[in-house]
Amino acid sequence: MIIRREEPKDYPIVFTLLEAAFRDEMHSDHKEQFLVERLRKSQAFVNELSIVAEQDGEIVGYILLTEIDIQQNEELTPSLALAPVAVLPTHQYKGIGGQLIEYAHNKARSLGYQSVVVLGHETYYPKFGYQPAENFGIRFPFDVPAENCMVLELVPGSLKNVKGLVRYSPAFFE
Ligand SMILES: CC(C)(COP(=O)(O)OP(=O)(O)OC[C@H]1O[C@@H](n2cnc3c(N)ncnc32)[C@H](O)[C@@H]1OP(=O)(O)O)[C@@H](O)C(=O)NCCC(=O)NCCS
């Protein structure tokens, strides 16, 4: 399997992959493919952090990390949001999602980013080091259970003195 940066020629395939991956997902609005289209055009987009997994010439997985801030009063701490990660239903449970997440973390760290936030399955992300955001006093601007709001220190200790509200790109609310 090859994991590489997404290129514009991949956009239509990634669109179809997202539709298929989230089709039966209970906690999805089934619009992730449109969110990704908006994020690619937004200031939050970092091309190196839009990543595909390719197997035998076919794109089977996708992950996107985009820039966010964690805001407390006037102070903004730059961070990243993981959204979405998706693997084709025919290729799930084979470790591809996990490899994409680890690859994206390493790439983000190499670019100098220090942390990642995610809104997702409370049983999945802790495997990759994510911890409850509430342990850090970090809040999300969505009405969701606290257990689904998680954060990861890419650099140990980087969130030690960071608390506040996650400020997503406006692309998340369009
Ligand atoms: C979540 C997803 C990206 C995982 O990719 P994957 O390649 O199947 O995952 P991996 O093979 O690396 O890991 C498998 C683990 O993920 C868990 N997992 C897989 N799909 C899951 C799902 N839909 N919900 C919760 N956990 C899931 C499995 O329980 C398994 O755990 P185990 O190792 O303890 O048995 C993939 O299932 C997917 O695309 N789901 C639909 C889209 C989605 O929900 N994305 C996440 C948004 S928060």
Q: Which domains does the chain have, with CATH numbers?
A: 2-172 (3.40.630.30)
Q: Which atom of ligand 1 is closest in space to residue 92's alpha carbon?
A: 8
Q: What are phi and psi of 154, to 5 degrees?
A: -70, -35
> Each residue of 64-89: pLDDT tens digit?
999 999 999 999 999 999 999 999 99
CA of 12 to the centre of ligand 1 (A): 23
pLDDT attached to residue 16? 98
Q: Quick check: CB of 21 below 6 Å from ligand 1?
A: yes
> Each residue of 17-40: pLDDT tens digit?
999 999 999 989 999 999 999 999
Q: Quick check: CB of 124 below 6 Å from ligand 1?
A: yes
pLDDT attached to residue 30? 96
CA of 136 to the centre of ligand 1 (A): 25
Confidence of residue 53 (pLDDT cuts 50, 70, 90): very high
Query: Average pLDDT of 32-61?
Result: 98
Confidence of residue 141 (pLDDT cuts 50, 70, 90): very high
Please state, in angstroms and rounded to a whole number, the distance separating the CA atoms of residues 105 and 1. Answer: 18
> Each residue of 86-114: pLDDT tens digit?
999 999 999 999 999 999 999 999 999 99
Of the CA atoms within 13 Å of residue 68, those in its CB half-sphere come to 28
Structure tokens at 174: 């369009």
| CB-based contacts of 123-127 (< 8 A; 24+ apart in sequence) | 125/150, 125/152, 126/150, 127/98
pLDDT attached to residue 127? 97
Please state, in angstroms and rounded to a whole number, the distance separating the CA atoms of residues 18 and 33. Answer: 5
Confidence of residue 56 (pLDDT cuts 50, 70, 90): very high
pLDDT attached to residue 1? 95
Test site for ligand 1: of 27, 90, 119, 124, most ligand atoms within 8 A of the Cβ: 124
Element (H, E) at 32: helix 32-40
> Each residue of 149-174: pLDDT tens digit?
999 999 999 999 999 999 999 999 99
Quick one: three-class SS letters along 40-104? HCCCCCCHHHEEEEEECCEEEEEEEEEEEEEEECCEEEEEEEEEEEEECHHHCCCCHHHHHHHHH
pLDDT attached to residue 28? 93
Test site for ligand 1: of 22, 87, 88, most ligand atoms within 8 A of the Cβ: 87
Query: Average pLDDT of 35-47?
Result: 98
Nearest CA to ligand 1 atom 34: 124
